[in-house]
Amino acid sequence: MAVVDAVHLKKTYLLGKVPVNALRGVNLKVEKGDFVAILGPSGSGKSTLLNLIGVLDKPTEGKMLIEGVDVSTLNDNQLTDLRRQIGFVFQFFNLIPRFTARENVELSMAITGLNKAERRKRAENLLETVGLKERMNHKPAELSGGEQQRVAIARALANNPKFLLMDEPTGNIDSKTASEVVSLIKRLNDEKNVTIVMVTHDQRLAGQSKKILQMFDGLIVQEAVN
Amino acid sequence: MKAQDIFSYSFSAIKLRKLRSGLTTLGVVIGIAAIVALLSITQGLQNTITVQLQTGLATDTLIVSAGGGFFGGQGGINGANSGFTLLINDTQLINGLENVETSIAIIQRVGYIKSDSGQRTATIVGVDFAQYANVYSSTFVAESGTIPLSPPNETVVVGKRVSDPWKNETVLFNPDDTVEIIWTNGTARPPRNETYTGTVNAVLKEVGGFGIGGPSDSSIYISISKAESFFKTDECNQIIVKLVNSEKATIDSVSDAIRTAFNREVSVVSSTAVLNTLSSVFSIIQLFLGGIAAISLLVAGIGIMNIMIVSLMERTREIGILKALGMKGRTVLLVFLCESVIVGLIGALIGTASGWALANVVARIFVAGGGFGFGTQAAQTGALSSTMIAPVLTPTVFLGALVFGIGVSVVFALYPAWRASKLKPVDALRYE
> What is the predicted ipTM?
0.91
- Give the C-alpha separation, A1 to A7, whole Å: 14
In A95-152, DSSP assigns E strands to none
Q: Which of B12, B326, B329 sits opposite A112 (nearest CB)?
A: B326
What is the model's pLDDT at position B68? 57
Q: Which long-range contacts (CB under 8 A, 24 or more apart) does B12-16 make?
A: B12/A98, B12/A99, B13/A98, B13/B311, B13/B315, B13/B335, B13/B339, B14/B339, B14/B342, B14/B343, B15/A98, B16/A98
The answer to whether the CB of A167 falls within 8 A of the CB of A131 is no
Q: How many residues does chain B have?
A: 432
Q: What secondary structure letter does DSSP report for B389?
A: P
Least confident of B52-56, B75-79, B397-401: B75-79
Does residue B155 contact residue B198 with C-beta atoms inside 8 Å? yes
Length of chain A: 226
- Give the residue from chain B lying closest to A48, CA to CA: B426
Pairing of strands A35-39, A196-199: parallel
Question: Binning pLDDT at 50, 70 and 90, where does residue B77 land?
Answer: very low
CA angle (B113 as vertex; B107, B118 as ends), nearest 5: 165
**B320: pLDDT strictly greater than 70:** yes
Give the gap in angstroms from C-alpha B285 to the nearest C-alpha of chain A. Answer: 49
* Cβ–Cβ under 8 Å, residues B169 and B160: no
User: How does pLDDT run across A10-48, given as a tens digit for each residue?
Assistant: 999 888 889 989 999 999 999 999 999 999 998 899 989
How far apart (Å, rounded) are the C-alpha atoms in residues B246 and B402?
A: 42
Residues of B in contact with A168 (CB under 8 A): none
Nearest CB neighbour to B325, from listed A81, A108, A115: A108
Q: What is the pLDDT of residue B65?
A: 86
Q: Residue B330 in contact with residue B376, Cβ under 8 Å?
A: no
Q: What is the pTM of this model?
A: 0.71
pLDDT at B227 over 70: yes
Helix and strand numbers, DSSP H then E, in chain B = 12, 12
Split at pLDDT 50, 70, 90, the class of A52 is very high
Flag if A110 and B9 touch (Cβ within 8 Å).
yes
> Is residue B56 over pLDDT 70?
no
**A74 chain-B contacts, CB cut-off 8 A:** none
In this predicted structure, the answer to whether residue B69 has a pLDDT above a threshold of 50 is no
Position B82 scores a pLDDT of 58
pLDDT band at B213 (very low <50, low <70, confident <90, very high): low
Task: Tell me the average pLDDT across B404-428.
Answer: 89
What is the percentage of chain B residues whose pLDDT exceeds 90?
18
> How far apart are the CA of B11 and the nearest CA of chain A, in angstroms?
12
Chain A neighbors of B7, CB-CB under 8 A: none
Among chain A residues, CA nearest to B428? A56
Q: Closest chain A residue to B3 measured between Cα atoms?
A: A113
pLDDT of residue A25: 92
Given a cut of 90, whether residue A125 has pLDDT beyond it is: yes
Closest CA in chain B for residue A93: B321
Distance from A61 to chain B by nearest Cα, in Å?
18
Tell me the pLDDT band of B211, cut-offs 50, 70 and 90.
low
B329 in contact with chain A, both atoms CB, cutoff 8 A: yes
Alpha-carbon distance of B303 to B308, in angstroms, equals 8
Mean pLDDT to the nearest integer, A84-93: 91
Q: Which of A111, A151, A160, A166 best probes binding to B when mutated, by most B CB atoms within 10 angstroms?
A: A111
Instruction: Give the angle A83-A84-A85 at the CA atoms, nearest 5°.
Output: 85
Cβ(A153)–Cβ(A173) below 8 Å = no
Q: Are A102 and A124 in contact (CB under 8 A)?
A: yes
Give the closest residue to B227 by CA, choosing from B284, B154, B311, B293: B154
CB B389 within 8 A of CB B48: yes
Whole-number Å distance between alpha carbons of A224 and A210: 9
Give the pLDDT of residue B373.
Answer: 38
Q: Which residues of A183-213 are buried (b: 16+ CB within 10 A; e: fewer)?
A: ebbbebbeeeebbbbbbbebeebbebbebbb
Closest CA to A156 of A148, A165, A147: A165
Tell me, what's the pLDDT at B375?
36
Q: What is the overall mean pLDDT for chain B?
A: 82
Distance of alpha carbon A12 from alpha carbon A59, whole angstroms: 8
Q: What is the pLDDT of residues B120-156, one digit of tens each?
A: 888 899 998 888 888 888 788 888 888 888 777 778 8
Instruction: Compute, in degrees rounded to 10, the torsion defined by CA atoms B25, B29, B30, B35.
Output: 140
* Cα–Cα dist B412/B306, whole Å: 9
What sign does the CA torsion over B129, B134, B135, B139 have?
Answer: positive
Q: Express the helix, strand and coil content of chain B in percent, nearest 5 each.
A: 50, 20, 30
- Look at residue B405 in the predicted model and tell me its pLDDT: 87
Nearest by CB to B326, from A96, A98, A111: name it: A111
B12 touches chain A (CB under 8 A): yes
pLDDT at B79: 45
Chain B residues near residue A107 by CB distance under 8 angstroms: 9, 325
What pairs with residue A165 in β-bridges? A88, A197
Strands A211-216 and B238-243: unpaired
Assess whether pLDDT exceeds 50 at residue B70. no
Segment A167-194 shows an average pLDDT of: 89
Question: B119-127 and B219-223 as β-strands: parallel, antiparallel, unpaired?
Answer: parallel
- In the three-class reduction of DSSP (H, G, I as helix; E, B as strand; rest coil), residue A30 is classed as strand
Where is average pLDDT lowest: A53-67, B47-61, B162-176, B406-420? B47-61
pLDDT in tens, B321-376: 999 999 999 999 999 999 999 999 999 999 999 999 999 998 888 765 444 434 33
Q: Write down the pLDDT at residue B387.
A: 57
Tell me how far CA of residue B298 lies from CA of B27, B301, B411, in angstroms.
Answer: 9, 5, 10
SS3 A208: helix
DSSP H helical ranges for B17-125: 18-55, 90-95
Per-residue pLDDT tens over the stretch A145-159:
999 999 999 999 999
pLDDT one-digit tens code per residue, A203-213: 888 998 999 99
Spatial CA neighbour of A111 closest among B344, B2, B34? B2
Neighbours of B405 (CB within 10 A): 31
pLDDT score for B382: 40
For residues B98-105, average pLDDT: 89
